[in-house]
Structure 1
């Protein structure tokens, strides 16, 4: 289903392509990958405060090894990194049977519809626009790791910080946008 005229997915904080309840159950471990260490450390503080066990990796070439050894349920990846970008890294993670089912979340200032489609094609399950509004991301991660009951999402759902879908509060704790659902962008 195409995006409705006037809808701009880049205006939303988070675009989801994978239902949070489809993620295999693992410990509340999140791997944060960003070459900008201050941003990664800030996200780690937020995740730690919400009860996640978090590790930060600023070298994209170390990510696959850390993910295989540590087995996080989710990896939050920057897209624009030197030498190996997040899109290439997502393809590597999806190509390894030991990391293929992990939740991959792009976190990037590259948030145009074309950028988001590239992220989806590379294997990302969700896209968060920078500057990051953390609450929708945190709620998605909580739902995906089983901290909250997750309602099955149909296709891709655009999420903002309003806490509404079709004007109603969502019972699952995930923030919703204007109720618009897109498939395949």
Structure 2
């Protein structure tokens, strides 16, 4: 399969998928890998912050409602670290009300997508932003 994924300065873009629903995380990870991205997966916000420091993702696809540390708090931690201030952070959640969308924007998310994720929309956002 030919890769259509945008590339960073040192290879395929690195994507971190964070979701406490393991089947959902696995499915999204497989989809990202199918398009040529280098993908890592974890299942809570605390693990995401630690893995982001080790993996240095270009893109984080973050669920919001998770145990241990929710996605909003995890995003705040990422944005507080200068190494991750320019990382594309996309909320991927079952919640899409106006107040929550405003909160995710205020807390540093670049985009807010409602599950089930429209893969074409996601790939379009990544492509547009990664150029």
TM-score bucket of the superposed structures, by smaller chain: 0.7 to 0.9
Identify the residue that residue 140 of structure 1 maps to in structure 2.
125
Identify the residue that residue 83 of structure 1 maps to in structure 2.
68
Identify the residue that residue 48 of structure 1 maps to in structure 2.
33
- Cα offset, 1:101, TM superposition: 1.3
- 1:59 & 1:85 partners in 2: Cα distance? 7
Identify the residue that residue 65 of structure 1 maps to in structure 2.
50
Q: Would you say how many aligned residue pairs link Structure 1 and Structure 2?
A: 123
Q: If the length of structure 2 is used for normalisation, what is the TM-score?
A: 0.87
Identify the residue that residue 127 of structure 1 maps to in structure 2.
112
Structure with the greater relative contact order (CA < 8 A, sep ≥ 6): 1 or 2?
Answer: 1
- 1:103 & 1:84 partners in 2: Cα distance? 19
- Cα offset, 1:83, TM superposition: 2.4
- 1:96 & 1:86 partners in 2: Cα distance? 16
> CA-atom RMSD, angstroms?
1.6
Q: Which has the larger radius of gyration?
A: 1
Contact 2:44/2:67 (CA < 8 Å) preserved in 1?
Answer: no
Q: If the length of structure 1 is used for normalisation, what is the TM-score?
A: 0.63
- Cα offset, 1:47, TM superposition: 0.5
- Cα offset, 1:25, TM superposition: 5.7
- Large movers: runs of 4+ above 6 Å: none
Contact 1:76/1:105 (CA < 8 Å) preserved in 2?
Answer: yes
Q: Deviations over 1:89-125 (max 9, x none)?
A: 1111000111121110000111011110011011000
- 1:142 & 1:31 partners in 2: Cα distance? 16
Gap regions ≥5 residues in structure 2: 1-7
Gap regions ≥5 residues in structure 1: 1-23, 147-185
Query: Out of 75, 91, 104, which is 2:89 matched to?
Result: 104
